[in-house]
Chains A and B, each alone.
Chain A
Amino acid sequence: MIPLSYYVVVSTLMFVIGLVGVLVRRNFLIILYSIELMLNAANINLVAFSHYLSSMVGQVLSLFVITIAAGEAAIGLAIIVVLFRKRATTNVDELNVLKW
């Protein structure tokens, strides 16, 4: 049986990789993937805890997280498409109309 700490280490690593991706990468799509990675890190945690605590709550939670991640991807891609039609770029650094 795999100890719980293995799961937590993997999920923390995934979370950190996602966070660094959001902060470092400059492409919308990759930022979106990185955020999905962070959400899935939470899912791994939830399912692992749910197994070790023998409670179903964690699995239910993770289903909701997946649903919300899907909704986010739909809205995010729609906004990106609108922006791409107008500006023909996917680089966040080129979004500099609004600044003080």
Chain B
Amino acid sequence: MNLTLISPELWMTLLSCVVLSIDFLAPQFSKKGLATLSIIGMALIMLHLVAMTWFGVQGTLFNTMFVLDPLAIFFKIFILFSTILLLLASLDYVDRLPHFQGEYYYLILFTALGMMFMASANDLLSLFITLEFSTFGFYILVAYLREDVKSNEAGIKFFILGVLAAALIAFGISLIYGDTGTILFYEIAKISPKISIGLVIGLLFIFIGIGFKIGAFPFHAWIPDVYQGAPTPVTAYLSIAPKAAALCLSLRIAFATLSDLKPDWVWLIAAISIFSMTYGNITAIAQKNMKRLLAYSGIAQIGNILIGMAAGTKMGSDAVLFYLLTYLFANLGAFVVVIIYSNMTQKDNIDDLSGLNRRSPLMAFAMLLFLLSLAGVPPLAGFVGKVYVFLAAVEQGLYLLVSIGLINVVISFYYYLIVVKKMYAVEPEEMTPISLSIPLRLVLYAGIIGVLWLGIWPKPFIDWSVSATHIFTHLMSQ
């Protein structure tokens, strides 16, 4: 047994336990110190993963339950990077929490660990456990503000729907197991051309469960409420990392395990994609709250990502990975602006952002870039991501899907630009400049650099996505 394969997770477990123990045994240890420790630790683990890519370490563990391949490494680095940015962004926020400051960092680390395992899950048992593992932390984090009615309510709504999704997945797994006699992905792949009713129902249940986690259209109901009620840094985290990890799982299931059944699932994903985009964009227009607006825009963005999945080719999976990178920078950046703003003023309505340019030109400019990138304006990251996804679909002749996607891009311009207009054209109610702390500045700069770099010179990242998905080479279109 080669434990090197699982070493990033082992280090991460150690790190989170150390953070918890220090917080518990030495309460006088500064909470900023805990955050610094977590950030340095995760940066080292990220370097470790980069080194593993360099040396080409890969393989499976525990009877193929756990797999480490370039795809898993890509998502692990993605998750660690977003966690680091998020911890930097939440330093000020945690300072003002009345209680449980240390546990916040521990819970974030632990959910990140769950999602790292999720990127490597390679059978139905590890799928179920890792999905639950990462969601458990989020149940607590969403309901973290004990004295805040909104946070409590968001927590209970998230909990009920999350557990319901878990129950559906468990039942689906039991049906697949009964039908095929196995829970290993590669053995299901061997059986899958002989499709039967138990397998179909079981896969549908698992599909619904993953749909809940990524917040695609018919399973999106929890997203706006939870995003609005949860503490803003948690919302930012929730909008990126779990979606990426769940997409990794769905890529593994759809592209590797069920690739022979492609004609049977393509239309399903295409339909979900169309509805997610249209519903998300149209509902976003009516929103008054910035977090809710970003929630609906997130549903629409998932629709865009699913266009790449619906293509069902190697290029489609590359596009999904690249799109996730662009989404990471733009969406996290937009949330960071909301975090800074609501830290200052305790408000997060769109109207409150009025005249932001007068109060903090850097924040307004950053928000402008992030929103335009989400909308897909050249030369920003979102544009390249959208073009990539659309090209993958056009290559497969999904013209209807692409044209609906293009119409939706136009709709999305409207609500992103309304926010931009408020920031630049409306006079603010008060003129006091907003001061930014160093960590928050760092995150903003990281977001700006990311959005510009991925837009202007995307080649290294496209190459990375292409090499990360080499396990889907059998789907290469001729």
Binding site for B on A (CB under 8 A): 8, 11, 15, 18, 22, 28, 31-32, 35, 38-39, 41-43, 45-46, 48-49, 53, 55, 57-58, 60-61, 64-65, 68, 71-72, 75-76, 78-80, 82-83, 86-87, 92, 95, 97-100
Contacts and interface: CB of A to CB of B under 8 A. Distances in A.
Contacts of B292: 100
Interface SS majority for chain A: helix
A42 B149 contact: no
Contacts of B170: 38-39, 42, 65
Contact of B174 (A28, A49, A98): A49
Contact of B157 (A35, A43, A53, A95): A95
A35 B167 contact: yes
B398 interface: no
B39 interface: no
B147 interface: yes
Contact of A42 (B139, B154, B174, B286): B174
B139 A79 contact: yes
Nearest 8 pairs of A and B residues by beta carbon = A45-B174, A38-B167, A49-B178, A42-B170, A98-B225, A42-B171, A42-B174, A83-B152
A75 B136 contact: yes
B194 interface: no
B360 to A, nearest CB: 28
A71 B149 contact: no
Interface of B: 124-125, 128-129, 132, 136, 139-140, 143, 146-147, 149-150, 152-157, 159-160, 163-164, 166-168, 170-171, 173-175, 177-178, 181-183, 224-225, 228-229, 283, 286-287, 292
A32 B166 CA distance: 12
Residue with the greatest number of chain A CB neighbours at <10 A, chosen from B155, B171, B224, B228 = B171
B153 A95 contact: yes
B136 A71 contact: yes
Contacts of B143: 79, 82
B167 A100 contact: no
